[in-house]
Structure formats: structure tokens, C-alpha cells
Amino acid sequence: MAGFRSALFYQDPKAALKWLEEAFGFELSMLLEDAEGNLAHSQMSFGDDYVMIGQEWSADHKSPKSVGGKNTQTVSIQLDGDIDAHCERARRAGAEIVAEPETQFYGDRTYRCRDPEGHIWTVSQTVKTVSREEAEAASGLKITGWI
């Protein structure tokens, strides 16, 4: 199946699997372990998509926890349900909420959080259909390729 996926690396990937289930409602869909029970590869599903979760395995594949909290990407989640309730669920699970839920000019309500190892997640729910012209007027930006 064609698509786009992300892979995240953790010092403790098995703890991350549990946390992602508790905080975001992800479901473990694949787990590969070596003979000693160490995680070799995993996938967690959410809707029709999944994210790969693995352990640090080279100098270029590290958790933010190992590199001073730095991130090179933000993983985004698009919800069908109540984003405010989702934010509270993540907060109860120990997420650091770095941006509280707020409705954006393009019609999505979003919040941003850090997981226990410092990965940044942006969570969105479409709450209003906005035209390109409305979004441009509200933001002052010129928008090309509006969906």
C-alpha cells in the first residue's frame, strides 16, 4: 500500500509503546523481538495509519532524550473525536503540553505536546470548514494549493 510513514526512536521503546497506547489510544499492530526479548521493530496503528517505534540503533537514530531534547520533526495526529478530551488524556498520561488546544485560522483545533522522551506531537481536529480566501484573510498569508 502506498503511503507515508514515520519512525521514532526511543531509549526505552517498550515503555514508549505502553505510553502511546495510554496517552493517544494507539494500538500495537506489530512487534518483533530478538531472542533476548529486545524490541527489533514495532508498529502502532491509529485510524488507517501507523507509526514505527524502535530503539536507538546508531549515532544518527536517537531519541530526543539522548540529544538534549532536540527534534528534527513533529509527528501529527488527526482526530475525529474531541481534541480537548484527547489533550486531557495525554496530560494524565504524563505528556508535557507545550501548546494548549486552540482553534487555528485554517479551521483545525490543535494542541502540541512532548512525550516522556521528548518527541513533539501535534494533535489536530477539524472543527470548521474554511475557504482559502477566509484562511488568507485571517492569517495575512498567500496560500497556494488549498485542499
What residue ranges do the domains of the chain occupy?
1-55, 71-141
Q: In this structure, which topology does domain 1-55 adopt according to CATH?
A: 3.30.720
- Class of the CATH domain delimited by 71-141: alpha beta
**What does the alpha-carbon distance between residue 30 and residue 14 come to, in Å, rounded to a whole number?**
12
Same fold, 1-55 and 71-141: yes
Give residue-wise pLDDT tens across range 66-83: 999 999 889 999 999 999
For 15-70, the pLDDT digits (tens) are 999 999 999 999 999 999 999 999 999 999 999 899 999 999 999 999 999 999 99
Which pTM was predicted?
0.92
